[in-house]
A = this chain, B = another copy of it.
Amino acid sequence: MAVRLGNQTMALERNVSVINTATVVGTKESEGPLSPYFDVKMKDAEWGEETWEKTESKMQKEAAKLAMQKAGKQPSDIHCAFAGDLLNQCISSGFSARELGTPFYGLYGACSTMIEGLSLGALAIDGGGMNTAIAVASSHFCTAERQYRNPLEYGGQRPPTAQWTVTGAAAAVLEADKNAPYITHVTSGKVVDFGVIDQNNMGGAMAPAAIDTLCAHFADTGRSPQDYDLILSGDLGKIGREIVINMMNSNGFNMNDNYGDSGCMIYDIEKQDVHAGGSGCGCIAVTVCGYIFEMMKSGKLNDVLILGTGALLSPTSSLQGESVPGIAHAVALSNRPGGER
């Protein structure tokens, strides 16, 4: 039985192992600093498909298949897939799950979806109902642009606060009682909205949710930022990241030295001309399943707090005058069972 800590956190009882992961990325991500950690690097935005939406679905499917293969699993070994994406009606996930053939719970947590999937998969395994699960998420620059903003052909200008949607899909296979790293804690986020109405400032819109969940996690567990080798947020970009550092400092938490944001890590922000950084479900998904997983396997990182961040808007809600609500879900990963020191 998981143990409930404080208002939002659960400490898992079983050792829920991340037994293996896989990543598929686009060309821009392949040219970025995390390139060595990715498995499949697409040569173009289409990957042999007729539409970008079909490409994104294929990316999810191939990431999931490769993760299962690396984990020595068949789809029939997987008790459930927890998957989501940004597209209307989450079609990348639905059509990918159709091909995989595992039981499937569809999720929508905007860019926090991968961490929502790890959370719910870990809880289901900890609870005994499942022995294995796979968490999958994706985003694609071209599908996101035409759905959320403008057709690519417009060549629209982007303000400095804008972020670049990561073309990437990742999958992580979870299983009870295998090797490290383990998911040891899950903190469920609340929706937080500070009234940001600028759809081109997602980092600013999501930062308050990130801060809310970080504070809840530290209060619930009695931990401090210094208990982690790294705290990694999803896609706050350089604007959101700065807000988090400053506001956490105001709340008495020093995150100057061990806090990174996937959106700031996945691209060389200056050279690759991505303005405020990366974003999208794929951003934290490929960073965690590529870079973080490898750092933990090699023991260079032993305790990492992963914070998926999402903006729960739609083009319709913005047109109707709504602000941009944010959410952040956290999981703690540790190379020690239960995260014990």
- B-contacting 9-mer, from A89-97, A199-207, A284-292, A332-340: A89-97
Q: What is the bound-complex CA distance between A87 and B131, given in angstroms?
A: 33
User: Which residue of chain B is the closest to A54 with respect to CB atoms?
Assistant: B320
Evaluate contact between B190 and A317: CB separation under 8 angstroms. Answer: no
Evaluate contact between A186 and B104: CB separation under 8 angstroms. Answer: no
> Counting CB contacts under 8 A, is A1 at the interface?
yes
The 7 closest A-B pairs by CB, nearest first: A127-B127, A1-B128, A94-B312, A2-B129, A10-B129, A103-B188, A89-B314
Evaluate contact between A105 and B95: CB separation under 8 angstroms. Answer: no
Interface residues of A in 281-326 (CB under 8 A from B): 312-317, 320, 322, 325
Evaluate contact between B95 and A322: CB separation under 8 angstroms. Answer: yes
Q: What is the bound-complex CA distance between A94 and B89, given in angstroms?
A: 14
Q: Mark A240-271, 1 if CB is under 8 A from B, else 0.
A: 00000000000000000000000000000000
> Counting CB contacts under 8 A, is A39 at the interface?
no
Looking at the assembled complex, report how far the CB atom of A171 sits from the nearest CB atom of chain B, in whole angstroms: 16
> Counting CB contacts under 8 A, is A46 at the interface?
no
**How many copies altogether?**
2
Q: What is the bound-complex CA distance between A1 and B1, given in angstroms?
A: 7
The size bracket of the interface on A is: 35 or more
Q: Mark A217-229, 1 if CB is under 8 A from B, else 0.
A: 0000000000000
Evaluate contact between B129 and A129: CB separation under 8 angstroms. Answer: no
Q: List chain A positions with a Cβ less than 8 A from chain B.
A: 1-4, 7-8, 10, 12-13, 50-51, 53-54, 76, 79-80, 84, 86-91, 93-95, 97-98, 101-110, 116, 119-120, 123-124, 126-131, 186, 188-193, 312-317, 320, 322, 325, 327, 329
Evaluate contact between B127 and A2: CB separation under 8 angstroms. Answer: yes
- Pick from B50, B116, B317: contact of A53, CB under 8 Å: B317
Q: What is the bound-complex CA distance between A130 and B11, given in angstroms?
A: 11
Evaluate contact between B91 and A312: CB separation under 8 angstroms. Answer: yes
Residues from chain B with a CB closer than 8 A to the CB of A315 are: 88
Looking at the assembled complex, report how far the CB atom of A24 sits from the nearest CB atom of chain B, in whole angstroms: 20
Could you list some 8 contacts between A and B, CB below 8 A? A1-B1, A2-B128, A4-B79, A91-B312, A98-B192, A105-B119, A105-B188, A124-B127
Looking at the assembled complex, report how far the CB atom of A303 sits from the nearest CB atom of chain B, in whole angstroms: 20
Looking at the assembled complex, report how far the CB atom of A272 sits from the nearest CB atom of chain B, in whole angstroms: 27
Q: With A128-B2, A312-B89, A317-B95 in contact, is A107–B105 under 8 Å at CB?
A: yes
Residues from chain B with a CB closer than 8 A to the CB of A91 are: 312-314, 316-317, 322
Looking at the assembled complex, report how far the CB atom of A93 sits from the nearest CB atom of chain B, in whole angstroms: 8
Q: With A89-B86, A91-B314, A129-B123 in contact, is A109–B106 under 8 Å at CB?
A: yes
Evaluate contact between B116 and A106: CB separation under 8 angstroms. Answer: yes
Q: What is the bound-complex CA distance between A128 and B122, given in angstroms?
A: 13
A84-B108, A106-B109 known; 19 other A-B pairs, CB under 8 Å?
A1-B127, A4-B131, A13-B128, A51-B320, A53-B317, A87-B316, A88-B316, A89-B110, A91-B313, A91-B317, A94-B325, A95-B325, A98-B191, A105-B107, A105-B116, A106-B312, A120-B124, A127-B128, A129-B186
